[in-house]
Amino acid sequence: MATLTYRDALNQALREEMQRDPNVFLMGEEVGVYQGAYKVSRGLLEEFGPQRVVDTPIAELGFAGIGVGAAMGGLRPVIEFMTWNFAVLALDQIVNSAAKMLYMSGGQIPMPIVFRGPNGAALQLSSQHSQAWESWLSHIPGLKVVAPATPADAKGLLKSAIRDNNPVIVLEGEMLYNLKGDVPDSEHIVPIGRADIKREGSDVTLVCHSKTLSVAVKAAEQLAEQNVSAEVLDLRSLRPLDEAAILESVTKTNRAVVVEEGWPHSGIGAQIVDLIQRDAFDELDAPVLRVTQADVPMPYNKVLERAAKASPEKVVAAARRVLYLE
């Protein structure tokens, strides 16, 4: 077991998978000479050369499509977006090409490609650079979507994503890159589609993923001081969703709060609530509540930004409401 940052855990995953399979290559803006906009690809150009660590112009649509074409030609591309805000320019290739190639070719063309990069808000980057895209991306059949919250999950899920023969979206977090955690030394794989209980509890389930794990854990700590035992369920994968894990936890606690970075309308939380009310209706002792970003573009001002984001305090308040403590 080694202690690594989330950034270095991703770097290890890339390095190990590129060593393992010569058809894996990394392409994106600043991934080579600059060593990565967030240094996730540090050292890879030196080790693997410019053919396998490919610096691109700022042309997300074009290089995402070149990645899709390379996968059609038998390679296993890892396409890095400097942020998912810029990847919106490439959605035609992700949605219309990558996600549908296998189906519309009648099963002839698999699409082993990874699209990855930071997602969601950092600090004071304002409206265009502070968006969480998971509900958009996980809406699409033909894609898998993962959102690791810890260094160990980042490494294990990225390795799974690169080995998967389907297009996999890996949502990272700029605010997570410096997060440290234990990462197993040996070959460490986290299967796609499995949630993980990060903290056990019995009174209420806090469902979270990616950056909202730390929000949920802090909320659980505060709730513990109020004699409330909160279970923290980290989804890790958003498509496929580990429905069994969600239902099992809710069956135990009978109450749930879903925490996400995205906006409330048509969000990931809406999908979770749909699942719980449909398949665990009789287990519920209270309506499921959601904590999301405020339904506004992200403001620049620090005070307003804080008010817009999901926070431990908002999660504690929601948990107290489903426990009828308010």
Partner 1 sequence: MTATARSPKDTTQAELHLKMLRQMLLIRRFEEKAAEAYALGKIGGFCHLYIGQEAVGVGALTALREDDYVICSYREHGQALIKGISPNAVMAELFGKATGCSKGKGGSMHLFDVNRRFMGGHGIVGGHVPLAAGLGFAIKYKGGDQVCVCFFGEAAVNIGAFHETLNMASVWKLPVIFLCENNRYGMGTAFERVAAVTDIVEHACSYDMAAELVDGMNVLTVYDATRRAIERARKHSHPTLLEVRTYRYMGHSMSDPLHGVYRTKDEVEEQKARDPITHLAGKLKEEGVIDQAALDAMDTEIHAEVEEAVKFADESPDPEPDELFTDVLVD
Known catalytic residues are 60, 129
CB nearer partner 1, residue 25 or residue 177: 25
CB nearer partner 1, residue 94 or residue 132: 94
Residues 2, 59, 123, 325: which binds partner 1 (CB under 8 A)? 59
CB of 96 to partner 1, least distance (A): 5
Residues 21, 61, 294, 304: which binds partner 1 (CB under 8 A)? 61
Q: Is residue 93 part of the contact set for partner 1 (CB under 8 A)?
A: yes
Q: How far apart are the C-alpha atoms of 91 and 151, rounded to whole Å?
A: 27
Touching partner 1, residues 163-202 (CB under 8 A): 165-166
Q: Where does this chain touch partner 1 (CB under 8 A) — which range of 13-21, 40-48, 73-81, 258-266?
A: 73-81
CA angle 156, 170, 70 (to 5 degrees): 105
Q: Is residue 144 part of the contact set for partner 1 (CB under 8 A)?
A: yes
CB of 70 to partner 1, least distance (A): 4
Structure tokens at 120: 């969601």
Helix (H, G, I), strand (E, B) or coil at 64: helix
Determine phi and psi for 260, rounding to 5 degrees.
-145, 160
Q: Is residue 74 part of the contact set for partner 1 (CB under 8 A)?
A: yes
Q: Is residue 149 part of the contact set for partner 1 (CB under 8 A)?
A: no
Q: Report H helices in the chain.
A: 6-20, 44-48, 60-72, 84-87, 91, 101-104, 134-137, 151-163, 212-225, 243-253, 268-279, 302-308, 312-322
- Comparing C-alpha atoms, which of 281, 280, 289 is closest to residue 245? 280
- Total chain residues near partner 1 (CB under 8 A): 40
